[in-house]
Structure formats: structure tokens, C-alpha cells
Structure 1
Amino acid sequence: MEFTTPVVLVHGFWHGSWCWSLVGEHLASRGVPSVAVDLDGHGLKGRSPRSRWRRPFDAGAYAVEPSPVAGITASSAAESLVEQVRRIGNGRPCLVVAHSMGGAVATAAAEQAPELFAELMYVTAFAPVSGMPAGQYILMPENAGERVASGLSADPASVGALRYDTGDSARWAAIREAFYNDVDEATADAAISLLTPDAPAGVTAEPLTVTAERYGSIPHSYVVCARDYAIRPELQRLFIKEIDSISARPTTVVEFDTSHSPFLSQPAALADVIQVSHTAIHQPGAN
């Protein structure tokens, strides 16, 4: 039986494998095999602070309770992702598609095991290849106007997590604007209800070292989302420049006029882009 490269779909902070379900359907209709995974601290691997569930709800306690996912780092999450990619591809290279802060984890994973990556595609994602922690990019001038940090319910340095209070419906409009500003309201609200409250601050705080010999040896592509208020377009383009400074070949760039979440607002178009890369991998002489 001829081997078909699997697509591994990697979510960003607060999300889970669920956010890729629409894209997965479109990929299946095109005959492209895909598996969405949960990163450490998210989805089925997520853990909530106990104060989230106490009634009556105590916002003060919620703001100071240490996070149960505080020990997770970019490197440790990458080790888990490497094992997932190895299992999904049965040891052969996969096309890995990473969104948002999932890009930081995928970047570390690509350095750890480049032989498992047929390509790394970033979808409006962090790609911290310069040696700076991913969190440092959030404060850069290129990210001016982002609307994520102001919605946090706790000090990340204190609790060890970037914490959201999704139980407060008064906050939903701001979350929709940051992540889902072109997604229909019903779908956006459903997504908000599925968000994991704590995203590990350790992922954003760890400086990553990548090399031209390992990370730079694999093909990269990047989907820029021009209406993104979580990672501003100027910052996305900075990541592309930095990838190109270490990569053996230029990054393939596609631009969408979408929010931070094209997997919900434009799943067919995003599946088209993934399919193009998937097809190219199987062309004679690819990579």
C-alpha cells in the first residue's frame, strides 16, 4: 500500500483538537488524511483551577490560584508532540500545521525531530526562532493593537498560566473580537464555551534555540491572517522574515483576509491551502 503523508493539526492556546473539526471534514472530502491533536495542558490534557468550579464563584480566588499546568514548557510540550507525530506517521514524516501558540511548540518539536516533518505550516502562529521567548514577541511594536492580554483574569507570572474566565458571559464580546471576529456568533460562542481556561505560561517564557541544520532543513509555509487581533499581521510577517533567516529555502506565504481563526470562518479555503502543500509533498523530487 502506498504511504500517504498524514496531516497533523496543532491548535493554539486555550483551544483543543476540536477547533480543527471543520477543516478535518474538508480534508477528508479531498482524500487527505489528517489527525488533530491535543497539546499538553489543553483539550483532554487540560486541567482547570479548582476555583473555576466553586459556587458561588470567587473571582478573587480565581485570580490567584496556582495553575495545575504551570510546569509545562515549550520543550516538554514539544516532546509530547514529537511522540504524537511519530505515532501518527508511524515514524515517517508528516505535514504539521500549527496555529497560534501551537507554533512555538511545533517549532521546538521540529528542532527536536526534523526527520518527522515533511513540512511545517504555520497558521497565524508564533515562530520564535530568534532565541527570544514567544512571550516577548507579544510586547513588540509589531503586535500593537492585540486584544488578548487585556482579557486575562490573573497575572501569568503569579499563577503560571495565561488564564481566561470564560464563565463570565460579559467577557465574551471581547474574546470574540480577539479570536473570532469573522466567525458567526453562534459558532464563536460555542468555541468560547470549549476553551480551556489555563494556557501554560511556561510555553511563552522559554527561549528556544533552533538551528539551520535541523529546523532550517525542513520546508516552511505561513498563512497570514490580515484581520487578526490576537497576533497582528505585522508580527506574523516578522516571524516569516526570521524563519527565512535560518531556513534553507524561502517560506511559502499565503494571505487570508480573516480573523485569528480561519479554521472556523474559512475552513474550506484553509483546507485548500493544506491540500496544495500535501500534494506538493507527493510530487517527484519533493523536499
Structure 2
Amino acid sequence: MSASTLVFVHGFWHGSWCWSEVIPRVVATGRLAVAVDMAGHGLYARRPRWFTEQPYTPEAVGTEVSPVADVSLDDAAELLTSQVERIGGGEPVTVVAHSAAGPVLTRVAQQTPELIAHAAYLSAYMPASDVSAAAYTRMPEAAADQVAPLLRGDPAQIGALRLDFATDDAAYRQRLHEAFYGDVDPVLADAATGLLTPDGPIGIMLGTTTLTRDGWGSVRRTYLTCTKDVAIGPALQARFVAEADAAFPDNPTSVIALDASHSPFLSIPDEVAGIVTSLG
């Protein structure tokens, strides 16, 4: 098989499970594909006490220090590097990173460009050199972000970007659905929400990577934009691409537009599978 293996990495609060509608469609074409858990998520997630304790205590949601507060961008990149090495057997793979997995892919591609055949960013943070992903959440292009108002607690104090999936506040849960799954079937969106974990390690968003021409700048990259995204909006997605192309004009970013919200792996899995399968 000449095409590189596809490795899928989810964003904050999700897990490798979110690619379960895409991977069978990719594998059906004859392409090897696997999804992995990011540090602090999936099998590496650790839930705060308030999330499972009864009775539910709203006050603890905003104050309990996260059990994944010590997870850094270094940790996440180390884990992904080990996963890529194991999956590819030393051969380069194509990595598809969603949302907050973007900075992790960037770090791995910078440190070990020989392991990455193609870096694909699906409505993901693709930060410029020495700029944290968190910095982009304060930029004008992120003003319409509908996830930020849902966060609970001070990330600097609790060590995480925290969402309250235990609340019975119907309005809050509806806003969560709109932020992540605006065009996803409501039944499927409900099921997905039930699998989310509350804490995304703030350290992944705070870390920075110095990008070089021989590192990240040498790796083929594609940015898959989501035109209906209200978590990482189209204006911010465009900024990532513009900054990358300005820094490394000899290796421009290929851009593919998806008419979808933040989670096209659930809303249009056929289209996502077709696009990523076409990547070398």
C-alpha cells in the first residue's frame, strides 16, 4: 500500500471515539487508518470529583483543581510522537488533527518532520511560531467564539478549560450542542455529549513551538475549513492559513472548505472520509 497510514487525533473534551463514523469509510477504500487518544483525554482522561459525586455541587465546578492540570503541550506531543512511531513503524503517516489537537500536531511535525507525510488540520488551531493556541482565543477573529462563554472556573486556577456536562441546565446544554454539533442529528449529538469529558488541559493551549523551514515548514499541510463553525470561526481559520503561508511561502497550505459546523466527522462523515483519503 503506497498511501501513508491516516492517524486521527480528536480535539478537547472528545476522544478517539469521535472518528468512529469516519474510519470505517476510510478503511473501506483500502486505506489504513487509526484514531488515537490525546493526552488528558479518552483513556488518558481523569475526571474531577464534582463530575461524578452526588449530590452535584455547582460551586465545586468552578474551583476544583483539575486532575489533568499537569498535562502540558510537551506531554501531548511526546504521546502523539510515540503513537505515530508505533503506528507507522518508523514510516511517515498522515495526521488529521481536529480543533485543539492542532498545536500538538504542529509540535510533532516540527520536532520530527520525517514522521509526518502530511499534516491536516480540521478546523484546528494552527498557531504561528512562538504563539500559543490560547493567544488566538483573545484575538478579534475569535470574538464570536461560542465555547468560551460556556467555560467554568478560572483556567489559571483549575488548570483546565472546563465544561459542565453534569448540569441539568437545559439552556446551557443546548448552547453546548450549538457550539459543537450545530448540524449534527440531535440524537447523535446527545450520544456524543454523553461521551465528553469535562476538562481540557490548559497546558496544551499555553505551550508554544518555534517553527523552522526544515521542521514544520517542510511538511505538506492541508487546512480543512468549516464554514459554519462557531467554536473556531472561519475568520480565525483564515488567519491560521494566512500566517502559515506568510512564514513559509515556498510550502503553501492547501485549503479545502467544508459546509459544516465544528464536528463534520459526525455531520458529514462521508465527505470527510473522501477528503482525507485523497491526501497523500
Confirm or deny a common fold (TM above 0.5): yes
Band the TM-score falls in, shorter-chain normalisation: over 0.9
Separation of aligned partners in 1, 2:273 and 2:40: 26
Separation of aligned partners in 1, 2:124 and 2:214: 22
Is residue 226 from structure 1 mapped to residue 219 from structure 2 by the alignment? Answer: no
Contact in 2 for aligned 1:82/1:109 (Cα 8 Å): yes
Q: 4+ residue stretches of structure 1 with deviation over 2 A?
A: 245-248
Can you give the 5+ residue segments of structure 2 that lack an aligned partner in the other structure? none
Matching residue of 2:154: 155
For 1:1-287, list aligned pairs within 5 A: 2=1, 4-169=3-168, 170=170, 171-247=172-248, 248-277=250-279, 281=280
Task: Tell me the CA shift for residue 190 of structure 1.
Answer: 0.7
Separation of aligned partners in 1, 2:244 and 2:217: 8
Matching residue of 1:285: none
- Residues 38-89 of structure 1 deviation map (CA, whole Å, 9 limit, x = unaligned): 0010001100111211111111122111111111111220111011001000
Task: Tell me the CA shift for residue 32 of structure 1.
Answer: 1.2
- Residues 199-224 of structure 1 deviation map (CA, whole Å, 9 limit, x = unaligned): 00011112221111111111000100
Separation of aligned partners in 2, 1:37 and 1:162: 21
Q: 1:159 to 1:46 in 2, by over 3 A?
A: same
Task: Tell me the CA shift for residue 137 of structure 1.
Answer: 0.1
> Which TM-score applies when normalising by structure 2?
0.96
Contact in 2 for aligned 1:75/1:109 (Cα 8 Å): no
Task: Tell me the CA shift for residue 3 of structure 1.
Answer: 5.4
Letter in 2 for 1:276: S
Counterpart of 1:139 in 2: which secondary structure?
A: coil
Letter in 2 for 1:24: I
Separation of aligned partners in 1, 2:52 and 2:228: 34
Q: RMSD of aligned C-alpha atoms?
A: 1.1
Contact in 2 for aligned 1:211/1:246 (Cα 8 Å): no
Letter in 1 for 2:145: E
Task: Tell me the CA shift for residue 154 of structure 1.
Answer: 1.5
Separation of aligned partners in 2, 1:4 and 1:121: 15
Counterpart of 1:213 in 2: which secondary structure?
A: coil
Task: Tell me the CA shift for residue 4 of structure 1.
Answer: 4.5
Counterpart of 2:21 in 1: which secondary structure?
A: helix
- Residues 77-120 of structure 1 deviation map (CA, whole Å, 9 limit, x = unaligned): 01110110010000100000000000011111111111100000
Separation of aligned partners in 1, 2:83 and 2:192: 24
Task: Tell me the CA shift for residue 29 of structure 1.
Answer: 1.3
> Which TM-score applies when normalising by structure 1?
0.94
Of all paired residues, the percent bearing the same amino acid is 45
Task: Tell me the CA shift for residue 245 of structure 1.
Answer: 2.5
Can you give the 5+ residue segments of structure 1 that lack an aligned partner in the other structure? 282-287
Separation of aligned partners in 1, 2:143 and 2:122: 19
- Residues 122-146 of structure 1 deviation map (CA, whole Å, 9 limit, x = unaligned): 0000011232110010111111211
Matching residue of 1:284: none
Q: 1:213 to 1:246 in 2, by over 3 A?
A: farther
Letter in 1 for 2:207: E
Separation of aligned partners in 2, 1:270 and 1:103: 17
Separation of aligned partners in 2, 1:264 and 1:243: 28
Counterpart of 2:175 in 1: which secondary structure?
A: helix
